[in-house]
Amino acid sequence: MDKNFSVLKFLSQVFMIYGITTGLLNIFCILFGTSAYGFSTIFSLGNTGVSIATSFQFLLAVFLIVGLKFIFMTDILIKKIPLAARIIIMFAGAFATILVFIFAFGWVPANMPIAWIMFIICFVLSCAVSTVISVLAEKQENRRLEEALKRYKEEQ
Amino acid sequence: MKISINIDPVLADTEIIINCGSLTAETENIIAALRMADNQMTVLKDGETHILDISKIAYIETVDRRTFVYTEKDCYESKLKFYEMDEKLCSGSFLRISKSCIVRLKYIRSLKAEIDRRLRITLENGEQLIASRQYADGLKKRLGVH
């Protein structure tokens, strides 16, 4: 195990993401719960909120995805795989995890192509945007660091 | 312990002689501190004691409470504790980059930012080290990155 791994750090990330996800899900339930009732298990309670079963399914999904993130942020993988590649593999892993949950718990109706298309578009779009932002931010930060390092060496 | 200081304007170089009954841990610490003051360090490799110029050190790492000193090609063990190295070296050209590692800034070839505010450090010999989030800000500050 990575020597920087901390259970507390891991759990704090799990519950932070889980809190945000559950909050958003409840908002979606209030907004679309009535019309989406019967199509997805996420809206099994209509517009009254998220069921306990769905809450625990999401907690498990978040747990696995944060686990994936921690694996790709270990010192060994940071040294061996470039940031952009790591982000892409990480998102692919997250996508596969969500797919398993969708099929296992009926989050998205299997016979409704439009729901699948919307899910894939949303996922790919959010992954692409966050990857581009991360890579651009990384490049800018790297340039600043390189310049500062060069300046430091010249001054010494 | 008796300390005698002999000041003689005729003497060109400062010489320190230690007279002792046996080489105790305390005496070894004194010798190590004197070496540090002279920009040198006593280190061990294959059971032999070496005197190493501090300017030759690339980085220092602690593993299982043992302190290892890395140069471009070699690895030595030091009897000094990691925190002692930290106290003695980090005010100069060295910097702590994680709970277990001190690096010589001039030996850094490049720096890369990570998404969780850690830094990937590539040394002149191609070795890579990771600066933890806790210490990455200190490294940036030292380099003048705000």
Cβ–Cβ of A149/B111 closer than 8 Å?
A: yes
What average pLDDT is seen over chain B?
88
Total domains, chain B: 1
Asked whether residue B61 is domain-assigned, the answer is: yes
Place of tokens 């009732």: A37
Q: Where are the domains of chain A?
A: 7-155
Q: What is the pLDDT of residues A27-37, one digit of tens each?
A: 988 988 888 88
Mean pLDDT of B139-145: 88
pLDDT, position B68: 95
pLDDT, position B85: 87
The two three-digit tokens of residue A86, written as one number: 């790591």
Pairing of strands B119-123, B108-113: antiparallel
Asked whether residue B12 is domain-assigned, the answer is: no
Asked whether residue B44 is domain-assigned, the answer is: yes
| Residues 104 through 133 of chain B touching chain A, CB cutoff 8 Å | 105-106, 108, 110-116, 118-120, 128, 130, 132
Give me the percent of chain A exceeding a pLDDT of 70: 97
The two three-digit tokens of residue A14, written as one number: 């799990």
Confidence of residue A5 (pLDDT cuts 50, 70, 90): low
pTM, two decimals, is 0.71
Q: What is the pLDDT of residues A78-109, one digit of tens each?
A: 888 888 888 889 989 999 999 999 989 988 88
Confidence of residue B28 (pLDDT cuts 50, 70, 90): confident
Predicted complex ipTM: 0.71
Q: Give Cα B71 distance to the centre of its chain.
A: 11
Q: How many residues does chain B have?
A: 146
Q: Distance (Å) from the C-alpha of residue A90 to the closest C-alpha of chain B? A: 13
Asked whether residue B76 is domain-assigned, the answer is: yes
* Containing structural domain, residue B93: 25-104
Report chain A's C-alpha Rg in angstroms: 20
Pairing of strands B57-63, B66-71: antiparallel
Asked whether residue B41 is domain-assigned, the answer is: yes
Asked whether residue B78 is domain-assigned, the answer is: yes
Cβ–Cβ of B143/A152 closer than 8 Å?
A: yes
The CATH number for B61's domain is 2.40.50.40
pLDDT, position A46: 87
pLDDT, position A40: 84
Asked whether residue B136 is domain-assigned, the answer is: no
Q: Concatenated DSSP letters for A52-116?
A: HHHHHHHHHHHHHHHHHHHHHTSHHHHHHS-HHHHHHHHHHHHHHHHHHHHHHHTSS-TT-HHHH
Mean pLDDT of B19-42: 82
- Which residue has better confidence, B97 or B116? B97
Confidence of residue A23 (pLDDT cuts 50, 70, 90): very high
CA–CA dist A14, A12 (Å, integer): 6
